[in-house]
């Protein structure tokens, strides 16, 4: 029996080995067969295949091609550098020897305050921006910023990127204020400049206008530069084709196309949007396009690309451009000797978007309900009071607050207007002399900060400052002498250095400014290209000590 099982096991083992041997032969044979097939594929005859050739058939350039070639040389790339704040000194800055460290800056967002008032010509003291319905989605300041960086006090230089376009062969360039705002150094690269690590040609600020987010800068050139033409934005229609050129994501000379989607778009209610009525387009614009041109099919600039509506910080088909007619008006003011936009104001605040109930109770359909009158301002001097309803200007009916603002802002300071208004249900009228918006509300700031009307210095005009010598009481509080800032001109050198009303300047470039005469002497000695460092104190917080704020004039 044992012999039988032994033979059975031996037979099974033999069968197993035979099966494995046959399987191995099959695998090897299949491999050779496959190799043979592949080898046959590699050596297949392709003598009947026809080689491909590039066809050089002429294509007539379309309008977009012609515009890109004609306008491209006048569109520039803008790089800015912002020096780090001085560690331990709130709001201060220090000059660094090496300006080439590259870190992208902190993005800025519109304010969100539902209690703000509208005004006839500008933002008054203590007033913020209107409520922003797009707060979670609207990325207005998109000059190359990254949303996850908080910048400022890490010791590194911040760099921002944007676009612009040359409007004068001598080197004058239009861009957005937010592209160059607070920058210590500005560089411009032309499309004809060599593609290198060099940031470009140094530029200086001619003037800025925060209200429209526009700025004018200038570069030097030994030969005339290519320029663009400004078209009439009032003539554009919804549905018109447009082309945008800029530097999205640092990709210079990028061309995109679309149509006009809407006109007269106000994207920020309240004071912040009083002078911002945009052209809406679906031409792709992204971070870095800011300040670039929006062109019609004649190759004329009909807008400055300023903002996008987005949920991802990128293009989603909704962009906004400041109309060229507004741009021309602002530009002409910025290149004037004052380098500022002068807007009329009568010194009132009003509430926009009133309910129908308010209109019915106060008995008016069209007009503006005055909420506050600036003390000592033109309206008060003309007899206007809070609660009055302004209905006409020089006999023309006023539709709403925007209509009032646009009319008065366009008037020159010193001109007179006849206001029709309703008080206690009775029609009345008054003659009001239009004032300078900056002075009307700037004077109020000065009155709140310092009550001493004497010892006012005008030498600070070079820096964009109005200052007064501090009182003995303030000097005792901060344990030093100095001059207090009464007002700062929008877009000026002082404004770019973040100087604010209420701060006390104790020294400039290590020289004492304890009196008006000392301040005047130091400022008169400054010239374009000088490094200027302010030593300032905040009398409201003397415990913070001295801040050092500096830049190149």
Q: What is the 3-state secondary structure (H, E, C) of 311-352?
A: CCCCCCCCEEEEEHHHHHHHHHHHCCCCCCCCCEECCEEECC
Catalytic residue among 233, 247, 290, 349: 290
Q: What is the bridge-based pairing of β-strands 531-537 and 241-246?
A: unpaired
The CATH number for 533's domain is: 2.30.42.10
Given 339, 374, 408, the domain boundary residue is 339
Decide if 403 is inside a domain.
Answer: yes
> What confidence category does residue 128 fall into, taking pLDDT thresholds of 50, 70 and 90?
very low
Query: What confidence score (pLDDT) does residue 274 get?
Result: 79
Answer yes or no: 136 catalytic.
no
Measure the CA–CA gap between 209 and 492, rounded to whole angstroms: 10
Q: Are residues 401 and 252 in the same domain?
A: no
Structural domain harbouring 185:
61-107+142-339
Decide if 1 is inside a domain.
Answer: no
Measure the CA–CA gap between 452 and 8, rounded to whole angstroms: 123
Q: Are residues 374 and 433 in the same domain?
A: yes
What digits encode the pLDDT tens for the residues 369-403?
A: 888 888 889 999 999 998 888 999 999 998 888 88
Pairwise pLDDT comparison (94 vs 178), residue with the higher score: 178
Q: Identify whether the C-beta of residue 542 lies closer than 8 Å to the C-beta of residue 479.
A: yes
Q: Are residues 457 and 476 in the same domain?
A: yes
Q: Are residues 390 and 408 in the same domain?
A: yes
Catalytic residue among 213, 436, 438, 538: 213
Residue 501: which region, alpha, beta or left (left: phi > 0; alpha: psi -120 to 50)? beta
> What confidence category does residue 93 fall into, taking pLDDT thresholds of 50, 70 and 90?
very low
Decide if 6 is inside a domain.
Answer: no
Q: Where are the alpha helices (DSSP H) in 126-207?
A: 177-180
Query: What confidence score (pLDDT) does residue 386 get?
Result: 87
Decide if 466 is inside a domain.
Answer: yes
Q: Are residues 335 and 403 in the same domain?
A: no
Measure the CA–CA gap between 163 and 79, rounded to whole angstroms: 8
What digits encode the pLDDT tens for the residues 12-62?
A: 555 665 666 666 655 555 555 555 545 455 678 888 999 999 988 888 888
Highest mean pLDDT, choosing among 107-121, 426-440, 539-553: 426-440
> What confidence category does residue 197 fall into, taking pLDDT thresholds of 50, 70 and 90?
low
> What confidence category does residue 140 fall into, taking pLDDT thresholds of 50, 70 and 90?
very low
Catalytic residue among 118, 160, 163, 178: 178
Q: Are residues 85 and 209 in the same domain?
A: yes
Q: Are residues 424 and 485 in the same domain?
A: no
Answer yes or no: 336 catalytic.
no
CA angle 344/350/355 to nearest 5° reads 140
> What confidence category does residue 355 fall into, taking pLDDT thresholds of 50, 70 and 90?
low
What digits encode the pLDDT tens for the residues 243-301?
A: 999 988 878 889 999 999 999 888 876 666 778 889 999 998 888 889 999 999 999 99
Given 274, 304, 339, the domain boundary residue is 339
Average pLDDT over the chain reads 78
Query: What confidence score (pLDDT) does residue 24 get?
Result: 61
Query: What confidence score (pLDDT) does residue 335 get?
Result: 94
Residue 444 reports pLDDT greater than 70: no
Answer yes or no: 178 catalytic.
yes
């Amino acid at each position: 029996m044992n012999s039988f099982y032994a033979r059975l096991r031996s037979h099974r083992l033999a069968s197993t080995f035979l099966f494995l041997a046959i399987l191995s032969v099959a695998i090897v044979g299949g491999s050779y067969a496959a190799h043979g097939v592949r080898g046959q594929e590699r050596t297949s005859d392709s003598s009947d295949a026809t080689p491909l050739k590039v066809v050089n058939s002429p294509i007539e350039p379309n309008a977009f091609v012609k515009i890109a070639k004609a306008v491209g040389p006048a569109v520039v790339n803008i790089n800015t550098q912002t020096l780090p704040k001085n560690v331990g000194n709130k709001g201060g800055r220090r000059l660094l020897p090496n300006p080439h460290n590259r870190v992208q800056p902190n993005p800025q967002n519109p304010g969100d305050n539902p209690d703000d008032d509208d005004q006839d010509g500008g933002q008054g003291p203590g007033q913020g921006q209107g409520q922003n319905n797009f707060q979670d989605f609207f990325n207005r300041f998109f000059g190359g910023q990254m949303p996850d960086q908080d910048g400022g006090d890490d010791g590194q230089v911040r760099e921002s990127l944007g676009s612009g376009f040359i409007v004068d062969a001598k080197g004058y360039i239009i861009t957005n204020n937010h592209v160059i705002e607070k920058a210590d150094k500005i560089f411009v690269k032309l499309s004809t400049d060599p593609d290198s690590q060099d940031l470009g040609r140094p530029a200086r600020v001619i003037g800025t206008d925060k209200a429209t987010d526009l700025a004018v800068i200038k570069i030097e050139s030994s030969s005339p530069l290519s320029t663009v033409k400004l078209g009439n934005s009032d003539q554009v229609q919804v549905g018109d084709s447009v082309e945008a050129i800029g530097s999205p994501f640092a990709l210079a000379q990028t061309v995109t196309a679309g149509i006009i989607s809407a006109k007269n778009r106000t994207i920020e209610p309240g004071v912040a949007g009083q002078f911002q009525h945009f052209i809406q387009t679906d031409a792709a614009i992204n971070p870095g396009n800011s300040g670039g041109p929006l062109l019609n099919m004649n190759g004329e600039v009909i807008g400055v690309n300023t903002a996008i509506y987005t949920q991802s910080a990128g293009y989603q088909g909704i962009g906004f451009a400041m109309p060229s007619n507004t741009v021309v008006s602002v530009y002409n003011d910025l290149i004037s000797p004052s380098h500022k936009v002068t807007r009329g104001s009568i010194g009132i605040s009003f509430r926009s978007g009133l309910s129908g109930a308010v209109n019915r109770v106060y008995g008016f359909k069209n007009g503006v309900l005055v909420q506050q009158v600036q003390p000592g301002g033109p309206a008060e001097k003309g007899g206007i009071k809070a609660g009055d309803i302004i209905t006409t200007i020089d006999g023309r009916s006023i539709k709403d607050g925007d209509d009032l603002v646009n009319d008065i802002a366009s008037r020159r300071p010193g001109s007179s207007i006849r206001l029709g208004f309703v008080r206690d249900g009775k029609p009345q009228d008054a003659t009001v002399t239009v004032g300078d918006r900056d002075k009307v509300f700037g004077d109020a700031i000065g009155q709140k900060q310092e009550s001493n009307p004497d010892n006012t210095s005008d030498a600070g005009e070079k820096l964009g400052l109005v200052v007064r010598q501090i009182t003995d009481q303030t000097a005792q509080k901060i344990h030093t002498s100095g001059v207090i800032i009464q007002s700062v001109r929008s877009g000026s050198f002082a404004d770019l250095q973040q100087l604010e009303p209420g701060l006390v300047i104790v020294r400039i470039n290590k020289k004492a400014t304890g009196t008006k005469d000392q301040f005047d002497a130091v400022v008169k000695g400054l010239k374009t290209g000088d490094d200027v460092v302010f030593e300032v104190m905040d009398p409201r917080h003397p415990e913070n000590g001295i801040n050092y704020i500096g830049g190149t004039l």
